[in-house]
Amino acid sequence: MDVNVFYGILIPFLGTSAGAACVFFMKKNLNEQVQRALTGFAAGVMVATSVWSLLIPAIEQSADMGKLSFVPAVLGLWAGVLFLLLLDHVILHLHQNSDQAEGPKSKLQKTTMPLRSEGMGKGKAFVGGMLSGIVEPIGAILTILAAGLIVPALPYLLSFAAGAMLYVVVEELIPEMSTGEHSNVGTIFFAVGFSLMMVLDVALG
């Protein structure tokens, strides 16, 4: 395997692990303004990624369709949005600053609530965050191995990911950065995250 490919596979996992390690430097509860800033920053990064790294490449890879090159991007985006909408209705989940879980009522509700971040120790929170990043290199390796089969469907898959990201931003992150007393910090950091990701994507493109 090419060393650059190896680093490319490893970087997302290391980034996730580094992000999870921040738990050791935080108090039990984040300051509200810091929380808004981080949420806005994440939203900006995800929107920029959706546009420059996913939708635009999806359209470019469908250039042979001429004026219809937008079709895979539109179909994939809607598939991603509808998939997340479906998950939103069938999986029990908890929104920030809310004690009321959303989703289907089930016996699982009694066991999922204690898993909230407030009740979890820093060590367990770090391990959980780090382990969540393992899917990234595994997914990347599987994608490389199945490249011959995936390439024709890549525009749809890229835009599917973009649709899923945009759903999360609009459904979860923007409301979270805007709750409570009015503040512009979330919006400002949205712009910071968006512009930073845009610069990195174009510069390192």
What confidence tens digit (pLDDT) does each residue in 12-30 have?
Answer: 566 556 665 665 666 656 6
**With 0-12 CB in 10 A as exposed, 13-18 as middle and 19+ as buried, what is 192?**
middle
Q: pLDDT confidence of 188, banded at 50, 70, 90?
A: very high
Q: What percent of the chain has pLDDT over 90?
A: 21
Q: Is the pLDDT of residue 186 over 80?
A: yes
Residues 60-91 pLDDT 10s: 999 999 999 999 999 999 999 999 899 888 87
DSSP 102: B
> pLDDT value at position 68?
95
First to last CA, the chain: 21
The candidate with the shortest Cα–Cα distance to 197, out of 35, 17, 44, is: 44
> pLDDT value at position 115?
38
Q: pLDDT confidence of 94, banded at 50, 70, 90?
A: low
> pLDDT value at position 150?
75
> Residues 108, 122: contact at Cβ < 8 Å?
no
**The dihedral sign for the CA sequence 95, 101, 103, 106:** positive
Q: What percent of the chain has pLDDT over 70?
A: 57
Q: Is the pLDDT of residue 2 over 70?
A: no
The candidate with the shortest Cα–Cα distance to 55, out of 201, 204, 203, 193, is: 201
DSSP 107: T
The candidate with the shortest Cα–Cα distance to 158, out of 84, 73, 83, is: 73
Q: How far is CA 163 from the centre of its chain?
A: 11
> Counting runs of H as helices and runs of E as strands, what totals does the chain give?
11, 0
Q: Is the pLDDT of residue 45 over 80?
A: yes
